[in-house]
Structures are given as C-alpha cells and as structure tokens.
C-alpha cells in the first residue's frame, strides 16, 4: 500500500455515530441517490468497512450516520483525491481559509489559472483546496485527466457555485478522524480486510455504449488513464479472493453482460439510478446498474 502521506497512526476504533456526516465532493457515479437501495443490501453486522474506490464516499458517510462498526479504511489510487481526504481529516482548519480566498477570487480566468497549476509545486493543503475548488466549479463535477496526467475539465456554467460549506467540512473531518486513508490499488483490499469485514467496490463502470464510457479517473498500473476490461477482470479476481477470506463483499457496476459473466455464482441485483454524464444527451436518464454481493 502506498501510504507516504498517511495511512496514518493506529486507530483502534471509530467514535460514536456522526449524524451530520455527508460527502463534501461531487463524483461521477456517486452513490448518494442509490443509498436507499444500497443500504437495504448491506449485511446486518460487520467489523470493519473497507472502500477501495472512495470517490465521494457517499456510502461511508451514510454508514457513519446510521451504523456502528469498529473501523474503516478508505483507499484509492487517485493521489489528489486521497491527499484531499487526508487534509480534511487532519487539517481542516488550514484548508478552510484557502478555500475562502478561492471563493472570493472565483471567475473564469481564476479557474483556468488554478487548473493550470502543477500539483507537485503546491503544498498538500493547497492541493486539497484546489481539488475541492475545481470539483465544485468544473463541468458536472467530473474528474478527468489527459494522457499527461493533467486535470482537463472545463469550467462549469454555475452562476454562483457554493464552493464549500464550512460546517459540512468540519462534520466530514470529524467523521474521518479515526479512519485509515491511503493511496493504494484496489487489490490492497485483499490484504487489509479480514473475515467479517465489509468491502464495497464502486469502480469506474464498464461502458454499456461507445458514448457511455467514463473510466479515465486515475492513472492505471502502466501509467495510462484507464480502467478497462482487463482491470475489471482483475477486480473480479480480488472480489473472489475476499470471498474466500469470508469477508462480506459488495460491488456496483453497469448492467453489462461482460460484468454479469465476471460475477457468475454470486448474487446479482438490479438498482436504478439517474446518470447525466453521457456525452449523448438523449442517452442520459434512468439506467439500470447491478449490485453484486457474496452474501
């Protein structure tokens, strides 16, 4: 596991439930609207919660509001995303003033100046604020990078974007206070999780049409910004490894025949969600997704 920044100090247990905890980032394919369906598919009990594609962490924050469990591990191979969660967890008081200044300066010229910044030239706190700012002001809240690993989403058409909510950020920081957060490939979940834990996979979805693909959210193992069918197969292998360890495993993906075949033998249920990021406007709207569980 790559944890240069902080898989962190040992944390024996999460504090009591956080009633105000909620996502502070938008994310393509985020699970907020599916929470009523997903929550009905959760196991009755589990020891730890592991989420290897953290995104907006919608299910994690729901669990912090509604369920009790021993500890949580949030993983992702998107370095900017993980840095952001760590900064909000550990240094929210320092991130908020940076965001406040960005909110005052926000305009089209400022957005593109911030987008052009090289993360390597910024402090970890500046990087975190930059991600939150762009997430709330870019088109549809997308996270997309080009072949050089550069964020390239244009500015959104928001008249007065709510770049951040100080109270919500502080609530999120409290919810994350005893959570292990690390940059890691999803396969690391096999090493992190033990029998009785719940692992939830919410990967970039397999495209169901040529215009539906949205897989370029983080650099792959070979440096390419993709999550292709080979990665889907590798993910299915990790799912089966966790099943053999007697973990509770749940996975969301598109309702594509290739994905159904990868999870033959496991329980597959259909959920319905509205998606709005297809490049073909006529193809946007309610779509079927599948939820795979081994319990």
| Class of the CATH domain delimited by 32-78+177-293 | alpha beta
211: number of CA atoms within 13 Å, CB side?
10
Each domain of the chain, given as residue ranges in start order, spans 32-78+177-293, 82-169
Please, are residues 176 and 72 in contact by the beta-carbon 8 Å criterion? Answer: no
Strands 198-201 and 48-51: parallel
The CA-atom distances, in angstroms, between 100 and each of 87, 143, 163, 189 are 16, 22, 9, 36
pLDDT tens, N- to C-terminus, the chain (295 residues): 554 344 444 444 565 678 889 999 998 877 998 999 999 999 999 999 999 999 999 999 999 999 999 999 999 999 999 999 999 999 999 999 999 999 999 999 999 999 999 999 999 999 999 999 999 999 988 998 887 889 999 999 998 899 999 999 999 999 999 999 999 999 999 999 999 999 999 999 999 865 554 444 444 444 445 789 999 999 999 999 999 999 999 999 999 999 999 999 999 999 987 765 444 444 456 789 999 999 9
Q: CA–CA distance from 260 to each of 150, 168, 266 (Å)?
A: 33, 38, 9
CA dist., res. 287 & res. 275, Å (int) = 7
Return phi, psi of residue 99, to 5°.
Answer: -65, -35
d(CA 291, CA 293) in angstroms, rounded, equals 7
Which CATH number is 82-169 given?
Answer: 1.10.1020.10
């Amino acid at each position: 596991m790559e944890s240069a920044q902080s898989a962190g100090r040992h944390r024996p247990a999460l504090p009591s439930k956080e009633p105000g905890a909620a996502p502070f980032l938008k994310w393509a394919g985020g699970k907020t609207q599916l929470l009523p369906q997903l929550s009905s598919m959760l196991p009755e009990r589990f020891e730890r919660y592991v989420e290897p594609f953290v995104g907006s962490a919608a299910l994690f924050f729901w669990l912090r509001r509604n369920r009790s469990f021993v500890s949580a591990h949030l993983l992702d191979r998107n370095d900017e995303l993980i840095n952001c969660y760590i900064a909000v967890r550990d240094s929210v008081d320092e991130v908020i003033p940076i965001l406040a200044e960005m909110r005052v300066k926000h305009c089209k010229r400022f957005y593109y100046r911030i987008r052009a910044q090289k993360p390597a030239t910024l402090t970890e706190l500046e990087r975190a604020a930059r991600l939150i700012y762009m997430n709330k002001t870019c088109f549809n809240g997308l996270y997309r990078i080009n072949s050089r690993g550069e964020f390239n989403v244009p500015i959104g058409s928001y008249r007065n974007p709510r770049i951040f909510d100080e109270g919500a950020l502080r609530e999120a920081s409290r919810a994350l206070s005893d959570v292990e957060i690390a940059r890691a490939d999803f396969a690391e979940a096999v090493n992190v999780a033990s029998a009785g834990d719940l692992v939830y996979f919410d990967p970039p979805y397999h495209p169901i049409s040529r215009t539906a693909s949205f897989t370029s959210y983080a650099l792959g193992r070979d440096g390419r910004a993709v999550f292709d069918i080979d990665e889907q197969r590798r993910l299915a292998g990790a799912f089966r490894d966790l099943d053999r360890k007697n973990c509770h495993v749940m996975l969301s993906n598109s309702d594509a025949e290739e994905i159904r075949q990868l999870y033959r033998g496991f329980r597959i249920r259909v959920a319905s969600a509205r998606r709005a990021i297809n490049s073909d406007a006529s193809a946007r709207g309610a779509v079927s997704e599948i939820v795979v569980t081994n319990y």
